[in-house]
Structure 1
Amino acid sequence: MTIGPNSRRKSKYEPRQAPGAGGARTSAMIASLDAEGRETVSAPFGNALVELAKTREDIVGLSADLSKYTDMHVFANAYPDRFYQMGMAEQLLFSAAAGMAREGFTPFATTYAVFASRRAYDFIAMAIAEESLPVKIVCALPGLSTGYGPSHQATEDLAIMCGMPNLTVIDPCDATETAQATRAIADHPGPAYMRLLRGKVPDVLGEYGYQFELGKAKTIRDGSDVLFVSSGFMTMRVLDAAAALERDGVSCAVLHSPTIKPLDEETIAREAAKGGRLVVTAENHTIRGGLGDAVGAALMRRGVHVPFRSIALPDEFLDAGALPTLHDQYGLTVEKIAQNVKSWL
């Protein structure tokens, strides 16, 4: 369809509240991602969950000592009797969420992506996914969205979670999509894993009239030379790269694919087959087992043979440091994307 950082162990600190910010506030320790020159929305996940809970008494929230860093504190402040602080025990977090789901609730369980995907995988598999329970796992710091190094960088979470049967996997782009996807997974009857951009989140897709649909990829802009297939905040980056490349005479389309599993293979294959364009996947994830591998395999299965490249993180544990420096080092910046595309044409 075409349409127009912080360490885990800091719980003693309270969110700093800006004057006049109202009830929906987020921690000053949370830095915005790609927000310069863009409108931002504060805690889109937390606020969307609060709005849902006004009419759905089945919605409950849980966190593993990270409510302030997953925007779950917004829900906790609004509905303290429906929020459960499980402490630093991710296995307990997801087991409790599974038990609540069995009793008719729709639990939203939040933590960092590294702790859900690495530490609690077996508990999610056995307690939630095998029984296809409607637990919604919403995780901050996906991929390279923190400079704290391998202990907090969930660079392989999509590969891990996409390997789990029954689990829907979503990588939203911005504030608009985060709020829309929150509502969509609440209505989805099975379990879901959603990556989370937190704090003050840029609003990028709103100007395109975008509407999230579970399992659907959508063309954000059209172009004749390059087709970007992207997910997460990398859609922000490739949109900017497409604008920069256009000034150099390179016409780029952007196909945003927020649902990694189930992948919208039909739309991706149809768009990739148009006009002999270079297909470039772009993701905030290791090059192994994420969007790029899924798209490449889908094209091969469907007999679509086109020039193909991937922009992704390397298959290694990444460095710690300032996030803008790391993004430049690992090729996720607009400038590096544009340079790579021009070298591939």
Structure 2
Amino acid sequence: MTTPAKPAAKPAAGGRAGMKKELPEHFKAYKHVWVFVELERGQVHPVSWELMGEGRKLADKLGCELAGVVVGAPDGGTKEAAAEAFCYGADLVYLCEDPILAHYRNEPYTKALTDIVNTHKPEILLLGATTLGRDLAGSVATTLLTGLTADCTELDVDADKSLGATRPTFGGSLLCTIYTLNFRPQMATIRPRVMSMPERVEAPVGRIVEHKLDMAEEDIVTKILSFVPDRDANKANLAYADVVVAGGLGLQSAENFQLVRNLAAVLGAEFGGSRPLVQKGWITSDRQIGQTGKTIRPKLYIAAGISGAIQHRVGVEGADMIVAINTDPNAPIFDFAHVGIVTDAIRLLPALTEAFRRRLSPHSRDRLAG
């Protein structure tokens, strides 16, 4: 039995009605929206460009400039990253180059970013909620004595030019909007794939403001002796998969989760699951989907036996097509799924797998993924 999916009711970011007030005089020195461009070993993390697109929207609302901040070694792709920032909407780029910035270490990166902030005073500073970004954002906010809202799912600004940063709270059961009213800059981290990737538009290199790092190698406690890349072929790539199949507690047992793996294999898809499955040991943490796991934006997402609480919803609602399978017609996932199927996933998944196996050739699977 199929049921038409209910309209996706996006939670409101919230407001501060009746709280409008005159901002402190010293706030006037803080202007513009900044995005930290995460660069590691010559590669820019895609979340940087996703944030550049969101930063562009905020800057346009505020009527200010959008700036990228690039930190790294002179031969580590910094010039290329700075040039690319203009193709994603930046009006200017702050560039800090130094050989001791070749590899990420908290001390020199915190020093570089806080010095640039104290010199040029941004109103809003955005970083990706990656391993690097979370480490850096926390130490920068602490050093600057300002507020930081982590793992945001939505950003907006109000009439007071205050950043409203929305994130799940109380174990993912509620969404709240947090404002940093009395401190600047206003900082937030956003998980990869939460925001859509903006269109890249070829653009000439614009204004670049260079900043010198006032630090020496002997000032840094942490030393990098060697770098060993992760070559785990089985590591999940959920965030950038075009097709994802996931399971939840409705599958009833770890053995039944193999049904999800089987369907994913036939579709040439990635597989994952909800947080309770990680807690039970059915799947590894790198395959968890949701606010505390991976945020995904696939072209097709099949959720089998997942109830669809807020924690899971914010991790998948960017998908182009969500197909939900659940025995409970009142499951929250049907509120935002595009197609809802009310049935037992344990019975339906084998039938789907066999149907796709018969009908999909390798070429048709390529078309599905493309």
**TM-score bin, normalised by smaller chain:** 0.3 to 0.5
Q: TM-score, normalised by structure 2?
A: 0.31
Q: TM-score, normalised by structure 1?
A: 0.33
Name which one, 1 or 2, has greater alpha-carbon Rg.
2
